[in-house]
Structure 1
């Protein structure tokens, strides 16, 4: 939406109620391009999880045994979730300056519960029949849904308090790592959802796997919301870019210093004698479940730098193409996972298992081949849906996908 818009009464955080100042347009090409960039990166990791899952990838990865190509690909994929969750917070801020706090709250609650339902009722069943026990995989979509619900409350804080909350959670949540609960503990299910990756037993033989404990991600989405004013249209581009550059390089510098000190923020790294490549992999091998401080610093820092890059080249074909994926991220997410499941089950039905109960590639290079081959076929329907969202503003449910 171009032009100026006034700010609603009772606006979120410290946004005034005057509706007098111009605000940022609802969709910025560099934000969509960054979101699209991480969606394309994510495809590579999901291809590995589909066709190469027999090759164990620990969290964090073991630098002494990992295939180097997978080690570096896994690090690249590490940027996906932090950037996407931060952009979700930023997107909520952009939404809030066009709507009242009540409308923003309603949107967050509806979208949050919808994402939880999609994770439980659609995405999890995609994997049933492959895993030995029916499992509800509480992954990134579930996590974002819960974070949006929580943000409907957190966004009412003054902006400095919200940013302080995000920083405290981001920097200090690893101090909670020694707290471990077991199935018999009264608070175990809550703690598994908040901070301890674990399995929760459910009735009828089902289990829930808390792959994405939400506490660190609450910090990320809060900080994404907190930097929202940087993207107002009355903020000069050079001011916004300078702030993003300082933030990006600052986070990456903090990561390097803390990683070299090697005492807090993640499991220690080590030098692999006579193998500088594996030593580097050890240095960038970081814990994702839940995301450590050192996992979040370089990924969020890199996201800030990419926002600057994409804003500076926003007239390029690359940004335009990436913005297509970023303009319909939920559609692309559901589409590519559905296509991968169909392809996998088709291969399993035609050729049968070749690795235990699975059908798997015997060479990681085939994962790379499929990655290149699938980008254009997935781009075409995503571009159609992205255009549909822009064209049919009268269809209310489209904004939720």
Structure 2
């Protein structure tokens, strides 16, 4: 029986989570299917095109939005739990996510039973951030806000600090690949700074969804914050002095300049990267609360089962890639990956035009929708099952 006293879901959050999940799948589909992915970085102004770049660019918003929303959701969950209960939940869920990243998710990316490339990617980042948040929630929310802002705005001061070969430093703040042996490598793609601050900032923003907070006031505040963050991104990026380890360059053409300007660093996410992406997240939340209809319901379905969707979408994409490799003469075994897919030199020549990538992406989303819908219905009708909160 449904608990009438349970807090109502905020549909705009489910909608944004769903949009993020669907858009994220586009980038992963591009990784495994786009011909050019095996020749150059889609964000390289000297080699990319605007269609290729913006296919990658739109997915920049995914990881920051999901980390932010995870923190916001933790705040909402905290309405029906004590601080100690919420801390315990965040620690257990965080450890679970780290475990899943290093096992089920890593296998999905590589299909490699030897696990030659254990990779710390977005699920790891969410897990560690939850563990840190478990401690932060015991502080006053204003202190959490100050912590979040200081880390997000100040962490680029560490860009010139390097400890070559130091795994701990890489885990904290530096993208790095370490040789475990001649055949095995540890890939630190998502250092925990500043991701922990993105989640804690989201936790603070959960306060704006208190029942006593006026909806119209929330919309105004979010719009002001979002527009201010976007303008600040443009201003700091234009000055080219701080906020990103790689300044943008003037290449003499509008398309190349635009690619350079809109490509702040993601590994780790720079101040400019977060200003650019989180401004979009906050503006969307400001202006989507009253959206309804079949399209909203479609995307919200994915948003209500994001972790379940995340895992199965990687497996489906990789399985389709294995099939396409077989059908195009490369053989399915080439998709048992010894390293990240775009770095496999034997795959040069494999792949398809961007139009095919979009077609495959849409097909995968349509395939996954009824699966996610069925699981969502199961979750909604079995809320008493504690283990569902971990999926």
Q: TM-score, normalised by structure 2?
A: 0.90
Query: Aligned residue for 1:367?
Result: 357
Asked if the contact 1:48/1:367 (under 8 Å) is kept, the reply is: yes
Distance 1:265 1:319, change over 3 A: same
Distance 1:280 1:110, change over 3 A: same
1:335 aligns with 2:319: no
Distance 1:162 1:371, change over 3 A: same
| Shift in Å, 1:143 | 0.6
Asked if the contact 2:302/2:309 (under 8 Å) is kept, the reply is: yes
Query: Aligned residue for 1:388?
Result: 378
Asked if the contact 2:70/2:202 (under 8 Å) is kept, the reply is: yes
| Shift in Å, 1:132 | 11
Counterpart CA distance in 2 for 1:207 and 1:27 is 42
Over residues 93-134 of structure 1, what are the superposed CA-to-partner deviations in whole Å (9 max), with x where a residue is unaligned? 001111011211121111111111111011112344679981
Asked if the contact 2:302/2:372 (under 8 Å) is kept, the reply is: yes
1:217 aligns with 2:195: yes
Query: Aligned residue for 2:128?
Result: 146
1:78 aligns with 2:56: no
Q: TM-score, normalised by structure 1?
A: 0.88
Range 138-147 or range 174-183, more displaced = 174-183
1:322 aligns with 2:299: yes
Query: Aligned residue for 1:21?
Result: none
| Shift in Å, 1:368 | 1.4
Distance 1:356 1:258, change over 3 A: closer
| Shift in Å, 1:205 | 4.4
The 5-angstrom pairing of residues 35-184 of structure 1 reads 35-52=17-34, 53-57=37-41, 61-128=43-110, 134-183=116-165
Distance 1:2 1:316, change over 3 A: farther
Distance 1:107 1:375, change over 3 A: same
Counterpart CA distance in 2 for 1:131 and 1:173 is 37
Asked if the contact 1:198/1:210 (under 8 Å) is kept, the reply is: yes
| Shift in Å, 1:54 | 0.7
| Shift in Å, 1:337 | 0.3
| Shift in Å, 1:292 | 0.5
Q: How many matched pairs?
A: 374
Counterpart CA distance in 1 for 2:39 and 2:64 is 25
**Residue ranges of structure 1 left out of the alignment (5+ in a row):** 6-24
* Larger helix percent: 2
Counterpart CA distance in 2 for 1:264 and 1:289 is 16
Counterpart CA distance in 2 for 1:56 and 1:26 is 46
Match of 1:97, SS state, is helix
Counterpart CA distance in 1 for 2:81 and 2:113 is 44
Counterpart CA distance in 1 for 2:182 and 2:112 is 18
Over residues 157-213 of structure 1, what are the superposed CA-to-partner deviations in whole Å (9 max), with x where a residue is unaligned? 111111000000000101101111122xxxx11111110110233368432101000
Counterpart CA distance in 2 for 1:307 and 1:340 is 29
Counterpart CA distance in 1 for 2:112 and 2:46 is 29
Over residues 48-83 of structure 1, what are the superposed CA-to-partner deviations in whole Å (9 max), with x where a residue is unaligned? 11112313217xx22121122121122110000001
1:193 to 171, 193, 202: 171
Distance 1:362 1:318, change over 3 A: closer
Match of 2:118, SS state, is strand
